[in-house]
Amino acid sequence: MKNLKILLAILPLFTIACSNDYTGETSETAHLTESAKKSGIGPVNPANPANPFDIAGSMHNEILEIIDETDYNSQSIEEIASLVDSVSAAHPEVMPLSSHYNLSGRLPEITLLANNENAITDVLTACTMGASAKANFIIFVNNLPLVAAGSYEDIQSAIVSYEASVLANTGFSAEDKRIILTATSVARYAAYEKKRKDKDWETNVTSIAATVCGAEQNLVLGLKMAITVELFQGNNPTQ
């Protein structure tokens, strides 16, 4: 809890608060929001209804759960990406968008991300987000490991608090908020799933970078790239 308090104390220093509600939801995600209500199991619910892109994390976990049931043993980026595309194409919420955002055309990019210790810095440098949004987000990502060793409740509280500050920030564009909130949703749900299986789990910053990279184009591509990186690094722990 000490680390959580430190992180929550740091975040307001890098955000500009206001009372305006965020209205930048994109039309392509509007039809997906209902399925976000099916968010998780157990005493702690990973959902944050205040995040208009919360569906990204919900679908991330649903797709991962299906893949876990297949007893896959894929080792390469190519095999894992193909598996993620196949499972996503059959997911009822992802299906309308999935075929337009296959991973096959992003394999070199995903490979670079999965093997890059500075992936988040490189992705944000090339990202279309505004300078203030980039600076704000990298501080959040760098401080997230402070609470990763604690309980999931600590992690969720830190992420939800940050999401509230992003929603209230008048200095961020609608596109800045869309990308950041997609990434935080995936990170929040991913932490929930991983913490259930391994209490010593550490934040996967590369997965966050992959989400940002894909989310620039589309929410579905962002969560699919995150899943691919997570599965690859899980099967290749030295990466």
CA distances from 195 to 50, 160, 190, 202 (A): 23, 17, 8, 9
114-169 residue pLDDT tens = 999 899 999 999 999 999 999 999 999 999 988 888 888 999 999 999 999 999 99
Q: How many C-beta atoms lie closer than 10 Å to residue 9's C-beta? A: 9
What pLDDT, on the 0 to 100 scale, is given for residue 67?
A: 93
* Domain spans of the chain, in order of start: 50-235
Sequence length of the chain is 239
Helix, strand, coil percent values for the chain (each to nearest 5): 65, 0, 35
Confidence of residue 193 (pLDDT cuts 50, 70, 90): confident
